[in-house]
Amino acid sequence: MAIDVLITEKQIAERIKLLADEIHQEYQGKELVVVCILNGAFVFCADLVRQLKIPVYMDFLKASSYGDSTVSSGNLKIDLDLKVDIENKHVLLVEDIVDTGLTLTNVIDRLSNRRPASLKLASLLFKKARNTHLVNIDYLGFSIDDLFVIGYGLDFAGKFRELPFIGVYSEDK
C-alpha cells in the first residue's frame, strides 16, 4: 500500500479560505443552514464553517454509495436525515467529493422537495472523468483526475480520514 500526496494541507487551507470568502459575500445578512454530508465531509465542513464570518445553523445528513469499496455501488443509502425544517431557508450542502454524482443528485432532489429558499453545493473535490449524473457545484475546492483519494475526511474502509492532506491511495507498493 502507498499514499502519495495530491493536495497539501496548506493548499487545502488556502482554498477553503477563498471559498469561505465567496460564501460570506453571498449569504451576508441571510440565515444559512449548513448541511454536512457525513462521514467524509466532516473535516472540510468544520474548517469551512470556522472560516465563515456569518452565523450558521449546522445539521447533518449521512448518505453513501461506497460501503467498503473503492468504487461506488450505485445504491444510495441514507442513514441520518436532517432534524431542521429547511423550508424557506438558505441551505448550503457540504460534500467531500462529487464522483459519479449519484449520491448528490438523490440528496439534492430529496432536499429540493422540502422547498428551501435556495440550495447550493460546496464540494471539496470533483472527479469530472467519473461524473455521470450532472450536479452543479457552486463552491468547488479542487478538480482531480480519476484517482482514489483518501485523507482530510475521505477514507478507505473507514481508515485514513485523519490525514491532514489529500493523498492518492494505491495497493501497489
Burial 8-23 (b: 16+ CB within 10 A, else e): eeeebeebbeebbeeb
What does DSSP assign to residue 96? E
Q: Are 142 and 124 in contact (CB under 8 A)?
A: yes
Q: Is 99 a known active-site residue? A: yes
Q: How far is CA 125 from its chain centroid? A: 7
Cα angle 142-8-59, degrees, rounded to a multiple of 5: 60
| Options 99, 138, 145, 172, the catalytic residue | 99
Catalytically active residues, by annotation? 99
